[in-house]
Copies of this chain bind each other. A is one copy, B any other.
Amino acid sequence: MRILILGGDGYLGWPTAMHFATRGHEVTVYDNYLRRRIALETDSEPLVSLLPLPERASRFEAETGKRIRVVLGDCCNLEQLLQTVRETAPEVIVHYAEQPSAPYSMADRGAARLTFENNLGATFNVIWAVLEAAPDCHIVKLGTMGEYGTPNIDIEEGWIDVQHKGRTQKFLYPRQAGSLYHTTKVLDTDLLWFYVRLYGLQVTDLMQGPVYGLSTPEMDLHPELATAFNYDDIFGTVVNRFITQAVAGVPLTVYGKGGQTRGYLNIKDTLQCIELAANSPPGAGQLRVLNQFTERFSVNQLAERVKGVGDKMGLSVEIRPVDNPRKEAEDHYYNPAHSGLLDLGLQPLFLTDDVMSAMLERVLQHREAIDQRKILPRVRWNS
A residues adjacent to B (C-beta < 8 A): 78, 109, 112-113, 116-117, 120-121, 124, 128, 131-132, 151-154, 160, 162-165, 167-169, 171-172, 174-178, 180, 183, 186-187, 190-191, 193-194, 197-198, 327, 333, 381
Contact = CB atoms under 8 A, between A and B. Distances in A.
A333 to B, nearest CB: 7
Contact of A116 (B124, B153, B197): B124
A175 B197 CA distance: 13
A180 B176 CA distance: 21
Interface-central residue, A162, A167, A172, by most chain B CB under 10 Å: A162
Contact of A169 (B131, B151, B163, B172): B151
A172 B176 contact: yes
Given A177-B194, A197-B327, 5 more contacts: A109-B132, A116-B124, A153-B162, A153-B165, A183-B194
B174 A162 contact: yes
Contacts of A172: 174, 176
18 contacts: A78-B113, A112-B128, A113-B124, A116-B120, A120-B120, A151-B169, A152-B168, A153-B164, A153-B169, A167-B333, A172-B174, A172-B176, A176-B197, A178-B198, A183-B191, A183-B194, A186-B190, A198-B381
A181 to B, nearest CB: 11
A240 B121 CA distance: 35
Nearest to A156: B164
A180 B128 CA distance: 13
B187 A190 contact: yes
Contacts of A327: 197-198
B174 A183 contact: no
Nearest to A182: B194
A154 B165 contact: yes
Contacts of A197: 176, 327
Contact of A153 (B168, B180, B191): B168
Contact of A190 (B124, B183, B198): B183
A167 B194 contact: no
A109 B82 CA distance: 12
Contacts of A190: 175, 183, 186-187, 190
Contacts of A193: 176
A177 B152 CA distance: 26
Contacts of A162: 153, 160, 162, 174
What 8 pairs between A and B have smallest CB-CB spacing? A171-B174, A153-B164, A153-B167, A151-B169, A153-B169, A183-B194, A152-B169, A187-B187
Contacts of A171: 151, 174, 176
B194 A180 contact: yes
Contacts of A128: 109, 112-113
A177 B172 CA distance: 12
Contacts of A177: 194
A264 to B, nearest CB: 23
A239 to B, nearest CB: 25
Contacts of A120: 116, 120, 187
A120 B176 CA distance: 18
Contacts of A117: 121
Contacts of A78: 113
A89 to B, nearest CB: 19
Contacts of A112: 124, 128
A152 B167 contact: yes
Contacts of A174: 162, 171-172, 174
A92 B117 CA distance: 27
